[in-house]
Structure 1
Amino acid sequence: MGGSLLSTGAGSSSSGNWRRAQARLAFPLQAPTSVGPVPDVLVLPRSSTAAAFGLSVVGTDPETPHTAEGLGRCPGTDASTAGYSPESTQALEVANRVYQRAMERVVRSPADGVLLDAGFGNHKVISEVRDEPNGLLSLAMSSHVEIVAMCIRHGQPVRIWHQAGGERQFIAMRTQSVIGEFIWLAEAYPDAYIAWFDERLEPFLRDISEWPTLVRHSLEVLHLSCFQRCDLMVESLGLVDFDSPFLLPGPTDRRYPTWLISPIGGIGHASAFRAVGLDAGFKQFSALLFDLGYRGIQQGLCPYSEPGLLRGEAPSGILQGLQEPLSDTSLALLIRRRFGRKWLFFWTVGSGLFRRAWPWKEALKASMMGHAPYRGAHLIASLHPVLPLEAPITSVDVVIPTLGRPEYVKNLLEDLSKQTALPNKVILIEQAPGPLTAGTAPESFKKTLPFEVDHQVVGWVGACRARNLGLARSSSDWVLLLDDDVRLTASLLAYLLKVAAAYQVDAVNGATYRPSETGDALARQFPRVWHSCGGTILFRRSVCHATDFFDERLEGGYGEDYEFGVRLRLNGSNILYAPGDPILHLKAPSGGFRQPFRHPWVNEVPQPRPSPIFLYSRAKHAPELMQKGYALYYWLKRLGSTPVYKWPWVLPAIRRQWKSAQRWAARIKPDLEQPVAAPALQQFPAD
C-alpha cells in the first residue's frame, strides 16, 4: 500500500459497519515496510468547530480495541533514510510530526473503538495501517490548510498573501495600518490561520506555510516573545502587575507560555482572534497583541513563545533592534482596560518615584476611555479542545502530606479508591513532631485499597519538606499533590488527565470550593491558563525533577506553591486551571501539614514585616520594578488602613519593620543546599 498526501478527506463509522475515509491522491509516496504485524487503524477527520478539525483513531473491530502498545508498533517514517523523492520529503516531515503528536495522545479505547480524540488546528489528517507482514503506514497533512500572512516594515504592512490548496496569491491592502489590516483579515478569513512577521526577520524564519503544523489546537497562538524580550517592552507594567510570572524573561530554547504575544512574528487561528476580540482602540500593534493575550488567557487562549517558528538562530543585533518599548500612551490604555482606573493612579505614582517620569497626561486620557465591546465572546466555547472520552493510559502517584487528621485522611483515601482512573500509588507523609503513632492509616485498612500506599512517618514538620519527600519517592509519569482535608468526586483524576492530554500541558490545577459554597458555577467553566500552582495540582514528574522540587527555604512562609509554579513556567511548562470537576476543601480547623514554624527572627524587635520569606521569594525571580511595585503597594496599603493623623508615628514603625524584613531576606542564601531525604523516617508497622 502506498502513502498519499490528502487534498480532501471525510469518513464516519458505526459499530459493525466501518467505512474508510475517501481521499483523492495528490501524489504517491513510497512508505517503509513494517517490522511485523501492526494493528489495523483508521484515522478519520472530525469537524470539531467551523474553523478546526481534529482526529479520531478507530479500530476496524470494535470488539477488539487496540492498545497504546499496539499503536506504538506502527512504523515511523524517516525522510532522510527511507529513500523518499526530494519533492516528497517536506510532506513526509509534516506527516511525521502529526503522527508523533497523535501517538503521544493515545487514550483507552471505549466501547465504540475510539482510541484518540485530538485537535490539530484545521488540518485534515488520515492514517491507515493494514494488518499484514508488509503493512505500510500512510500519514499526511492536507494541503488545504488556509493561511493569510502579513509582512510588516517599520510598523506598516507592506504585503499580504493568502494560501489555500497549495496556491499562494497576494491580497491588496485596504489601509496602511497594521492593526486595521489585522482586524480585517481575522473577519474576512474566519477559517484561516493569520500569520504576521517583521520583514527584517524574514530571512531567519521557517517557511510560514509550515507554521500551522506547530499549532496543536485552535486556542494556541505561537509567537517569538522570548526572542524579542517582550518583557522589556512592558517593563513598567511590573509596577502594577507585580505578582505576574508572565513578565519575567523566558527561555528561547523551548516553547514557553506567555501572554506577551510578540509583534515581530506569530500565528494563530482567526476564529480564536475573533472569539477573544481585537481592540481597535490601541495605536501600537504590540499593545493590541498584549491586550489580546492578557484577556485571552482568562478565556482559554494558550499563547506560547515558539522557537520552531525560526529556521535558525537570528542575529542578536536584529532582535535587539526589534525591541520597541510600549509608549506610555499604550501602557496607560492597557492598564485602564485590564486593571482599572485606580491602578492608573498607582502606575503614575510608581513611574514618578522609580522611573523619574510622571505620565499624568497619558493616565488622564486613558482614564476617560471606556471598555471596548467584544462581539465574539460566545464563540470561545466552541474552540476549546474536546476532552478524550476516557483518561489516557498512564501512571499517577498521589502525594498527601498530613499531620493529626486521621479521619480526613481515611475519607480521602476512600475517595481515591473510587476513582475511575486509579492511581498507582499513594504516598502519605505523616508528620509527627511528637511520639510516632500508627493511627492515620493502619495496615488492615491499607490492604483494602486498590493501590499501593507508601506510608511514611517523619519526626519533623514542614510542607515543602514533606512534599519533597513524597516527590522523591514517586515513580509514575504523573504526580498529584493533595491537601489532606479535601473530598473528591470519582472522576477527578480522570478529568485532570483528560485536560492535560487535550490541551497538551504539563500541569493542571484543580478548582476548590468550601462547604459553604457549591461547585456548580465552577463546573460550568472551561479550562484556562493559570499563573501558578495551587494546593491540588497534577503535573508530569519529569518537569518536577527538572524544576528541582519545592524550595525548602520558603518553609512556613505560605508562598511555596506560587514560587514552585513560577519555576515550572520558567522551565517551559504551561499550567492550566481546570474547574470542570470541583474539589471540596473542608478547611479543617486544626492539624493538616502546617504548624507554627519557628523562624530565626521570631524574637526580633521590631518584628519584620512583611515576612522575610515573602521578600526572598520575590527577590529570587522578580525584576527590580516588580519588587518596587510591590513595595509601593505594601506601604500604601499599610497607610491606607491607618488614620491620617497617626501617620507621623506609623511611618517610622513601618520603615523599621520593612528594613528588618529586607535584612533577614538577604540572609536567606539562595545557594543553600537542603537535602530532600528526611531524618527520623519510619514506616508504620503492620497491625
Structure 2
Amino acid sequence: MVILYHCHNKIQEVVTTKHQKIDVDKNVTLVKALHNLANQFPNEIIVWCHLDYKDYLDLKVIKTIFHHNKIMLSYHPGDHQFLDERIGYVEESVFININKKVSYPTWQMSSAVGAIHATVLLEIKNSIALDSNFDYYLNSLAKLAMPLGLFCYSEPRLLSGEMKLTNSKADMFTLFKFVKQHYKMRWVFLLVLNIWLYEKKIMLLPFLYTFCFGKRTNISINLDAITVQSSKKGLDKTTIDVIIPTIGRKSYLYDVLCDLRNQTQLPKHVIVVEQNPVEESVSELDYLISESWPFKILHTFTHQTGACHARNIALKQVKSDWVFLADDDIVIENNFLAKINHTINQFPYKAFTFRCYLKGETKVFNKIIQWGTFGSGCSIVNMESLNGSVFSEAYEHGFGEDSDFGMQLRNKGIDVIYLPEPSILHLKASIGGFRTKPKLLWQDEDVQPKPSPTVMLFQLLHKTKTQQLGYKTLLFLKYYNKQSIKKPFKYYRAFKKQWSQSLNYANQLKNNF
C-alpha cells in the first residue's frame, strides 16, 4: 500500500505502510502523481489523504475492505460533497443521497481521503483526461467507471476520531462543466431551467462555459481485464429458502415449483403465501399436498391481499442462510440455484438482483455492477442482512415497495449487486396481480394525485430536495402530451393541484405506516 499525502493541491509526501518515504516529483499535479505511483507500484493499493486527516487515517481497515481490486473508496467528512447539491436536479439515482454513517454506494468521491487499486488506474490512464482539479478527476473517474463494474463507495471507516473539516467544494462553473461532460446535453438545459424555476437565478455564464468542453460519456473504458478474486471466503454450499406470494395463478405457480423441483441444488424450504380476498374461499393449490416435493413447502393462506403483506409473512418463516424472493410467473433453468451458490462465494456481498427479462427482450446490462434499485421478485438476500427490514405496507397496491426495500438495505451498509447471469424469464401472466382493485385512499378525489402517492413517498423518503424538484420538472414535461389539457397555463395550474394532492397523501402514508 502506498499513501499520498497532500495539502493545498500539492504533494506533501508519499510513504508506504512501513513508513518508507518514496521520492516523487512534487511539481506534478495530484492526478498525475496518482498515475505515476500506479506505474511504479502496479500491484499496490494507492491511497490519498489530505494532510489534515493524516492522524485519523485507518490503514488497517483499507486492507480489510479491499477484498478485490475493482474497488474505489472515498469519504468526505461533513454534510456536503465536492459537487454542489444541485447535481440532484439532473441525477435521479439513489447514489446521490449518501448515508454518511455506513458504507454507501456512490460515484461521488472526495480528495479528503480515498483509495483505489493501481490496476484500475493503469486500465483507464489513456481514457480520462488528467484534470488539474483532483476532486473533479476522482468524481469523473467514478462516474464513468461505476456503470462498467468498478465498485465505488463512500466509506466512513477510512477515518476515525473527531476532526476539523477541510472544505473542498465545486463552484457553479465546475458543476455545469461536470454535467456537460457526463450527461446528455438536455440535462444542461434542465439544470438551467430548474435553477431558474426553484431558485430564481439565471445561470447564463456557467451555461455558456459548458460549450468549452467535450463529452466524456463516449470514451472507451474496459475493466474486464481486472478479474474479481475476493480474498473473503464464503461457505462451500449455502442453504436457500424461496418465498413466493401468489394470487389466482395456480398453473403458473405449479410451473415455478416444478422448476425448483428440477434444480441441481435444491432449496431447503419453499414458502408460498396464497391470497384470496373472497371470505368463504379456500386454497386452490391442491398439488402442494397431492404431489411429492423434494423440499419442504410452508403454505400460508390469507384473505388479505397485497404483495408487501404476503412477503412479510413469508420472511418471518425463512430459516436458511439466504432467501430468494421470487414471483409466481417466472421461468428458471435447472442450475439456477447452483449458479447462485457459486456467485455468492465468488462475490461475498449480501444482496443480489438478477436480470429479469421478458421474452424477446434484448439484454441491456452485461456486467456485474452496483444496482440502483431492487427487484422484489428476482433477488436473493443474506438473512443476517434482513434484520429489521420489511416491505413497507405504505406502498401496498401501489409502486415502489421494491425500491424502498433496496434503500433499507443500502442504509444499513448492504450494497445491492446486479447479476446478468443467472437470469430469470418473467412471463408477465395476465391474471392475478392487482385484479381485485382495492380501494385507495385518494380514489374518490375530484383531483387525482400526480404522481401516484406511493411514488411520491419514495421521493420524500429517499431522494434529496433537488432530486424531488428535478423529478417534478421532468414529470411536468413528460406528462403534457399524455393528458387532455393543451393550454399550457391551464395545464400548469392543474398539475400543481395534482402534485399537491400527491404530496398530501404521500405524507399521510408516511405518517400512518
Fold shared by both chains (TM-score > 0.5): yes
| Counterpart residue identity of residue 633, structure 1 | L
Given the alignment of the two structures, is residue 486 of structure 1 paired with residue 330 of structure 2, yes or no? yes
The structure, 1 or 2, with the larger RCO (C-alpha pairs under 8 Å, 6+ apart) is 2
Distance 1:481 1:622, change over 3 A: same
Cα distance in 2 between the residues matched to 1:631 and 1:615? 10
Cα distance in 2 between the residues matched to 1:465 and 1:542? 21
| Count of residues in Structure 1 that have an aligned counterpart in Structure 2 | 510
Q: Deviations over 1:487-522 (max 9, x none)?
A: 001222232333333222110001012112366x76
Q: Is the contact between residue 269 and residue 295 of structure 2 (CA under 8 Å) also seen in structure 1? A: yes
Given the alignment of the two structures, is residue 224 of structure 1 paired with residue 86 of structure 2, yes or no? no
Q: Deviations over 1:283-340 (max 9, x none)?
A: 4322221222222221111123334433x3132xx13xx2422222322232223221
Cα distance in 2 between the residues matched to 1:540 and 1:290? 31
> Which of 25, 28, 39 is the equivalent residue of 1:173?
25
1:213 Cα offset (Å): 4.2
Given the alignment of the two structures, is residue 182 of structure 1 paired with residue 34 of structure 2, yes or no? yes
> Which of 116, 127, 132 is the equivalent residue of 1:268?
116
Given the alignment of the two structures, is residue 542 of structure 1 paired with residue 377 of structure 2, yes or no? no
Q: Is the contact between residue 326 and residue 378 of structure 2 (CA under 8 Å) also seen in structure 1? A: yes
Given the alignment of the two structures, is residue 294 of structure 1 paired with residue 143 of structure 2, yes or no? yes
Cα distance in 2 between the residues matched to 1:161 and 1:405? 64
2:282 aligns with 437
> Which of 407, 414, 418 is the equivalent residue of 2:262?
418
Look up the SS of the partner of 2:316 in the other structure: helix
1:604 Cα offset (Å): 0.3
Cα distance in 1 between the residues matched to 2:250 and 2:345? 34
Given the alignment of the two structures, is residue 211 of structure 1 paired with residue 62 of structure 2, yes or no? yes
Distance 1:646 1:486, change over 3 A: same
Distance 1:429 1:387, change over 3 A: farther
1:560 Cα offset (Å): 0.7
> Which of 382, 395, 405 is the equivalent residue of 2:239?
395
2:95 aligns with 246
Distance 1:397 1:178, change over 3 A: same
2:400 aligns with 559
In structure 2, the gaps of 5 or more residues are none
> Which of 452, 460, 473 is the equivalent residue of 1:611?
452
Q: Deviations over 1:149-183 (max 9, x none)?
A: 211102222222356xx572322225342223223
Q: Is the contact between residue 526 and residue 580 of structure 1 (CA under 8 Å) also seen in structure 2? A: no
1:601-680 paired onto structure 2 within 5 Å: 601-639=442-480, 646-670=487-511, 672-673=512-513
Distance 1:152 1:304, change over 3 A: same
| Counterpart residue identity of residue 71, structure 2 | E
Cα distance in 2 between the residues matched to 1:190 and 1:512? 38
In structure 1, the gaps of 5 or more residues are 1-146, 674-687
1:575 Cα offset (Å): 0.5
Work out the percentage of aligned pairs sharing the same amino acid: 27
Distance 1:367 1:430, change over 3 A: farther
1:502 aligns with 346
1:201 aligns with 53
Distance 1:273 1:642, change over 3 A: farther
Look up the SS of the partner of 2:432 in the other structure: coil
TM-score (norm 1): 0.69
Given the alignment of the two structures, is residue 314 of structure 1 paired with residue 168 of structure 2, yes or no? no
Cα distance in 1 between the residues matched to 2:225 and 2:436? 43
| Counterpart residue identity of residue 483, structure 1 | D
1:425 Cα offset (Å): 0.4
| Counterpart residue identity of residue 559, structure 1 | G
Q: Deviations over 1:413-450 (max 9, x none)?
A: 111122232211011111111243332352445x5221
Q: Is the contact between residue 193 and residue 270 of structure 1 (CA under 8 Å) also seen in structure 2? A: yes
Distance 1:487 1:391, change over 3 A: farther
Q: Is the contact between residue 223 and residue 306 of structure 1 (CA under 8 Å) also seen in structure 2? A: yes
Cα distance in 2 between the residues matched to 1:553 and 1:210? 38
1:615 Cα offset (Å): 1.2
Distance 1:281 1:218, change over 3 A: closer
Cα distance in 2 between the residues matched to 1:284 and 1:575? 31
Given the alignment of the two structures, is residue 349 of structure 1 paired with residue 193 of structure 2, yes or no? yes
Cα distance in 2 between the residues matched to 1:375 and 1:387? 31
Larger-Rg structure: 1
1:654 Cα offset (Å): 1.6
Look up the SS of the partner of 1:326 in the other structure: coil
Cα distance in 1 between the residues matched to 2:387 and 2:61? 33
Cα distance in 2 between the residues matched to 1:604 and 1:556? 18
Cα distance in 2 between the residues matched to 1:614 and 1:433? 25
| Counterpart residue identity of residue 135, structure 2 | S
1:356 Cα offset (Å): 4.2
Cα distance in 2 between the residues matched to 1:294 and 1:497? 30
1:572 aligns with 413
Q: Is the contact between residue 12 and residue 26 of structure 2 (CA under 8 Å) also seen in structure 1? A: no
Cα distance in 2 between the residues matched to 1:409 and 1:385? 37
1:641 Cα offset (Å): 5.4
| Counterpart residue identity of residue 47, structure 2 | A
Q: Deviations over 1:567-623 (max 9, x none)?
A: 110110011000121111111122146643321110100211111221122112222
